[in-house]
Amino acid sequence: MSDQPTKDAMTPEERHRERMQRKKELVDRKIARATIDRGVLVVNTGNGKGKSSSGFGMLARSLGHGFKCGVVQFIKGTFSTGEEAFFRRLAGDQLDYYVMGEGFTWETQDKARDIAAAQAAWKIAAGMLADPAYDFVLLDELNIALVKQYVQLEQVLEAVAARPPRQHVVITGRGAPNGLIAVADTVTEMRVVKHAFEAGIKAQKGVEL
Clarify whether residues 180 and 125 are in a common domain. Answer: yes
- Domain membership of residue 163 (yes or no) is yes
Domain membership of residue 105 as a residue range: 39-199
- Domain membership of residue 177 (yes or no) is yes
Clarify whether residues 2 and 80 are in a common domain. Answer: no
- Domain membership of residue 206 (yes or no) is no
Clarify whether residues 27 and 76 are in a common domain. Answer: no
Clarify whether residues 21 and 124 are in a common domain. Answer: no
Share of the chain above pLDDT 70, in %: 89
Clarify whether residues 23 and 85 are in a common domain. Answer: no
Clarify whether residues 122 and 68 are in a common domain. Answer: yes
Q: Please write the tens of the pLDDT for every residue from 160-183.
A: 999 999 999 999 999 999 999 999
Q: Please write the tens of the pLDDT for every residue from 107-144.
A: 556 788 889 999 999 999 999 999 999 999 999 999 99
**pTM for the whole structure:** 0.85
Pairing verdict, β 95-99 and 69-73: parallel
Predicted local confidence at residue 79, as pLDDT: 53
